Structure 1
């Protein structure tokens, strides 16, 4: 596809592309496993700590709500992994220091995208709270009580259906906004508006394969909750590196600036 209004060109992809990105991301992960797994370990420890805080505070509902909402902010948390993917693409060895301290990430356009995602994250939290409040008059203080309500009652089932429907719409909008925009902003020449517009164009031009990619990301990310988030040590860097490959295949013009 030709460039539009100064935006980079967007390529058409097939349904096999998401699986190719996963395979490439897996290969990249083991090419630089030390810094990448250390990056994932940091996120897993933080996620486990946040979960413990809510459970200890008798706020079991927020564990589910914020776990589902994690997909909204994950793209910004993966900036260091995009940098690792960029370095591997250029034949360089990524380091944890280079992944954590990114000069490209400390600028207004990245902050604007991060603020937009944070706003959506908080909005999702409020919506989840409303759905929960409309579903029951009982406050479930423990995870056991909340799971029993959600899975064992008709009102709980209605809450899950409504929450999933609303959350799915918000999550897909967020994904459309950021799937290309976040890695594209590693280029200091790219504005947040150009990055977001390119992201929307990439998804609209390749709707079916990008919908599959969204489903893969959601399933792999949310399934880590079943392991008390320890699986994030591997899953998060894997998806981050795969997402860099997705960006590089979707956007025809190279946008990554040299280090």
Structure 2
């Protein structure tokens, strides 16, 4: 007799919002999502790697274009985590097609995936623009407060053990502000963007569903967020070379995270 049990499903009650059921998941699920994402990447590798290379080049160009300005380079590098869910809509689109056993589309069709829910996806993009501008200003303030007159002229001057030891207060403050903002954006985007692409729901419903899914599964979602951050860090540390594979892998895996966390229609 099978001992397998279905995960518990909770139905949040929120005034004037029809939220879907949210599953309670285990610590094994993030590894399952990564494995499923790798399988989708293998099945859709021509398109996935094409977009992976494009986004890796975009990240490389932005970060290295601002390399001589520490606050801007750091804001863009860490800000990559904030915009990644929006860029990954092409991989959600591909995983959705694979899930329904549809053939892969033409090369540029995934770029039009936003047409599934243009108003809500547009609002999400505006929110990301506001967050990135705010984070760039916060980075500038922290650099001015802690590194003004320190002689650091570029990001390479700061990325040394000696510089980190000399500017511990700056590192701690930067990690504290960045960590709070990253956790907030992660909780609002981990489910919302795949949901907006997949269902005809409004912007607010998707955000609240994502937040509730994160709150209900907070320890597991912390693990999932840490895995994403570590893999993105590996991609950045390899001068964005590994990002060409890591980014589509995480994009596909994020689709499976959404499907695992939110009850199906």
Superposed pair shares fold, TM > 0.5: yes
**Match for residue 51 of structure 1 among 40, 51, 63:** 63
Contact 1:136 1:155 (8 Å CA) reproduced? no
Query: Mapping of 1:1-259 within 5 angstroms?
Result: 1-2=10-11, 4=13, 5-55=17-67, 58-95=68-105, 96-104=107-115, 107-138=118-149, 140-148=152-160, 151-152=162-163, 154-187=165-198, 189-254=200-265
Is the CA contact 1:104–1:187 (under 8 Å) kept in the aligned structure 2? no
The 2-side partners of 1:187 and 1:101 are apart by: 13
Deviation at 1:188, TM superposition (A): 5.1
1:257 aligns with none
Evaluate the alpha carbon distance shift between residue 14 and residue 6 of structure 1 in structure 2; reply closer, same or farther with a 3 A threshold. same
Distance 2:199 2:36 in 1: 25
CA distance in 2, matches of 1:103, 1:219: 28
Q: CA deviation at 1:109?
A: 0.8
CA RMSD of aligned residues (A): 1.8
Query: What TM-score, normalized to structure 2?
Result: 0.89
Equivalents in 2 of 1:232, 1:116: separation in Å? 25
Q: Give 1:126 deviation, angstroms.
A: 1.1
Q: CA deviation at 1:94?
A: 2.8
Gap regions ≥5 residues in structure 2: 1-9
Q: CA deviation at 1:162?
A: 0.9
Number of residue pairs aligned between Structure 1 and Structure 2: 251
> How far, CA to CA, are the matches of 1:153 and 1:215 in structure 2?
22
Contact 1:61/1:140 (8 A) holds in 2: no
Cα deviation, residue 17, structure 1: 0.5
Contact preservation (8 Å) 2:157, 2:163: no
Tell me the distance in 2 between the aligned counterparts of 1:105 and 1:158. 46
Distance 2:162 2:48 in 1: 36
Q: TM-score, normalised to structure 1's length?
A: 0.91
How far apart are 1:105 and its partner, in Å?
Answer: 5.2
Counterpart-to-counterpart distance in 1, 2:200 and 2:22:
17
Cα distance in 2 between the residues matched to 1:176 and 1:60: 27
Change (3 A) 1:233 1:206: same
**2:6 aligns to what?**
none
8 A Cα contact 1:25 1:241, kept in partner: yes
1:146 CA displacement? 3.0
Deviation at residue 3 of structure 1 after TM alignment: 5.6
